[in-house]
């Protein structure tokens, strides 16, 4: 792949990072990606480019993908898990990152048969992938629910994400504070949790936020999806004050501005207003970063907004944009944890997104 053989600094550095310097916590999902037509989206009342939690009416989608004539490809997913995998890929040093979440006990139809790797349940597949990629994990395993899945429905350049959280929804704060997980938390100096986790365990996010404030460590979150500021406004309000960095895309930023009555649709203005919202740790001023697809990324830092153009790409090279935002954050954080300047971090984020949109799902190339 062209992007991967370039002279990008992130590909050459072989730095020694502290073990587990970056900690992520979120919904471990297995992505089931299929190309569908617009009629299929209409049948289930889905928008071409959105992320939602499955309602009862969406349940048949998973059976259809599992049983019918769709060519489904499976890949590890879950927004935070994607970001951590991308960050680890850049950092190289084994176990620079950790990830925590809840997987399940899978029924027989949740077994992926692969000619090369044999049989794996969805949950085992996630575990083995993380192990192979040198990421420290401590999954809670729920005995009563299957591993969460995300149907990734591709139409042209768009992706509609329909998530069935199942076991991912059963994450418990008591698991976070248990010694096996808390040692991962205390090892880290940077935290990243996608806003999606607000639907699962906002108290766990606050627990980590409190630790970060106490130790002056960096806590970051993503707005993740427009439905969160609308339907999970209270947990969002609770967690935002802990955020030293807020990430999001243009749709999420505008939905947030509407739901939090910021009275503007201008991205730089929204970023400025989000940066000025209440903050617990006064030793760090908040950075706000909004990506907007092919348009320039807006960064608000040190009282000013700056735009960074994305790496150009021919449209025929784009396979699917699923995971592009997660990859951006992973690339960004891989440099940020090394104390690099903001420009270097943003450029590495761009590089990561550029790489991921040229493959299906959040799939990382083998490293030499
Ligand atoms: C709570 N929800 C809806 C979700 C998600 C999610 N990750 C966590 N929680 N809905 C979709 N995703 C993941 O987003 C990635 C693309 O950004 C998908 O698994 C996909 O890999």
Asked whether residue 118 is domain-assigned, the answer is yes
Asked whether residue 183 is domain-assigned, the answer is yes
Burial of 309 (C-beta count, 10 Å sphere; 0-12/13-18/19+): exposed
Q: 76 CB less than 6 Å from ligand 1?
A: no
Asked whether residue 365 is domain-assigned, the answer is no
Q: Quote the number of domains for the chain.
A: 1
Q: 31 CB less than 6 Å from ligand 1?
A: yes
Give the domain CATH number at 283.
3.40.1190.20
Provide the whole-model pTM: 0.93
What residue ranges of the chain have pLDDT lower than 70? Answer: 1-16, 113-119, 368
Can you give the residue range of the structural domain that contains 116? 22-356
Q: Is the dihedral of CA 218, 337, 360, 30 positive or negative?
A: negative
- The tens digit of pLDDT for each residue in 128-157 reads 999 999 999 999 999 999 999 999 999 987
Q: For strand 118-121 and strand 73-77, is the pairing parallel, antiparallel, or unpaired?
A: unpaired
- The tens digit of pLDDT for each residue in 175-213 reads 999 999 999 999 999 999 999 999 999 999 999 999 999
Q: Ligand 1, atom 4: nearest CA belongs to which residue? A: 196
- Going by the DSSP 8-state scheme, the letter that residue 6 receives in this structure is S
Predicted complex: ipTM over 0.90: yes
Asked whether residue 131 is domain-assigned, the answer is yes
Task: Give residue 79 CA to ligand 1 midpoint distance, Å.
Answer: 5
Q: Which residues form the catalytic set? A: 326
Asked whether residue 135 is domain-assigned, the answer is yes
Asked whether residue 236 is domain-assigned, the answer is yes
**Encoded tokens for 257:** 């501005």
Asked whether residue 11 is domain-assigned, the answer is no
């Amino acid at each position: 792949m062209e992007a991967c053989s370039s002279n990008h600094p992130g590909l050459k550095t072989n730095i020694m990072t502290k073990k587990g310097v970056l900690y992520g916590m979120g919904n471990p999902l297995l992505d089931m990606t299929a190309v569908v037509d617009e009629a299929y989206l209409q049948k289930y009342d889905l928008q071409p480019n959105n992320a939602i939690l499955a309602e009862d009416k969406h349940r048949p989608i998973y059976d259809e993908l599992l049983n019918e004539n769709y060519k489904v490809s499976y890949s590890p997913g879950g927004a935070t898990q994607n970001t951590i995998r991308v960050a680890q890929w850049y950092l190289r040093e084994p176990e620079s990152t950790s990830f925590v979440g809840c997987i399940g006990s899978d029924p027989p139809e949740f077994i992926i048969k692969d000619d090369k790797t044999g049989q794996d349940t969805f949950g085992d597949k996630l575990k083995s992938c993380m192990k192979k990629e040198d990421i420290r994990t401590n999954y809670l395993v729920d005995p009563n629910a299957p591993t969460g899945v995300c149907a990734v429905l591709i139409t042209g350049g768009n992706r509609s994400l329909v998530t069935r959280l199942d076991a991912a929804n059963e994450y418990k704060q008591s698991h976070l504070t248990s010694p096996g997980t808390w040692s991962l938390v205390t090892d880290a100096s940077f935290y990243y949790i996608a806003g999606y986790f607000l639907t699962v365990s906002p108290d766990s996010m606050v627990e980590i936020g409190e630790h970060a404030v106490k130790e002056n460590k960096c806590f970051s979150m993503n707005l993740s999806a427009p439905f969160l500021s609308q339907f999970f406004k209270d947990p969002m309000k609770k967690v935002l004050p802990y955020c030293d960095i807020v990430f999001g895309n243009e749709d999420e930023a505008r939905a947030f501005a509407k739901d939090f009555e910021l009275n503007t649709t201008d991205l730089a203005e929204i970023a400025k207003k989000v940066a000025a919202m209440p903050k617990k740790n006064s030793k760090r001023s908040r950075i706000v970063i909004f990506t907007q697809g092919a348009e320039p990324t807006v960064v608000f830092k040190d009282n000013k907004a700056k735009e960074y153009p994305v790496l150009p790409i021919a449209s025929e090279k784009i396979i699917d944009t699923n995971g592009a935002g997660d990859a951006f954050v992973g690339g960004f954080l891989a440099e940020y944890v090394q104390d690099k300047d903001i420009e270097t971090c943003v450029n590495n984020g761009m590089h990561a997104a550029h790489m991921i949109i040229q493959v299906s799902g959040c799939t990382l190339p083998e490293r030499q």
